[in-house]
Amino acid sequence: MNPAKIYENLVATGTAMAEARYEYEQLDSQTKSILALLTLEAKEVEEVGSMAEATQIALSSSFYRDHLRSVVAARLAYGKAEVLYKASDSLFQAQRTVESSERAALHAAT
C-alpha cells in the first residue's frame, strides 16, 4: 500500500466529485429562474390570457426540456463521481484492514 498514491487517488476522485456536484447544483439552482423567464416570455410573446397558460407553454418549450436534460445529466455525472470516490475510499479502508490483520497475525505468532 503506497500512501502517496492512495492520497493522490482520493484527492483526484474527491475533486472530481466536488466539481460534478458544483456543476449539478449550479444547473439545478437555475431551473426556477429559467421557468419564470420562459413563462414571462410566453405571456408577452404568445399574448396568452393567464399565467397558468403561459407556464404550460414555458414547461413545454424545448429550451426548458433541454435544461432539464442537462440537470439530469449533471446529476448522473455527480452520482458516478461519488461512486468512484466512495469506491476508492472503501478500497483504501479494506487495504488498511488487511494490513492491520496481517500485523496482528505476525505479532500473535511471535
Q: Write the pLDDT tens digit of every residue in 16-63.
A: 999 999 999 999 999 999 999 999 999 998 778 899 999 999 999 999
DSSP 60: T
Least trusted range by pLDDT, from 10-19, 57-66, 84-93, 101-110: 101-110
Check: CB of residue 28 under 8 Å from CB of residue 68: no
Task: Count CA atoms within 13 Å of residue 57 on its CB side.
Answer: 18
Question: What is the number of other CB atoms lying within 10 angstroms of the CB of residue 72?
Answer: 13
DSSP 61: S
Please report which confidence band the pLDDT of residue 105 belongs to, taking 50, 70 and 90 as the band edges: confident
Which pLDDT value is given to residue 104?
Answer: 82
Please report which confidence band the pLDDT of residue 81 belongs to, taking 50, 70 and 90 as the band edges: very high
Question: What mean pLDDT is predicted for residues 75-101?
Answer: 92
The Cα–Cα gap between 71 and 74 comes to 5
Round the average pLDDT of the chain to a whole number and report it: 93
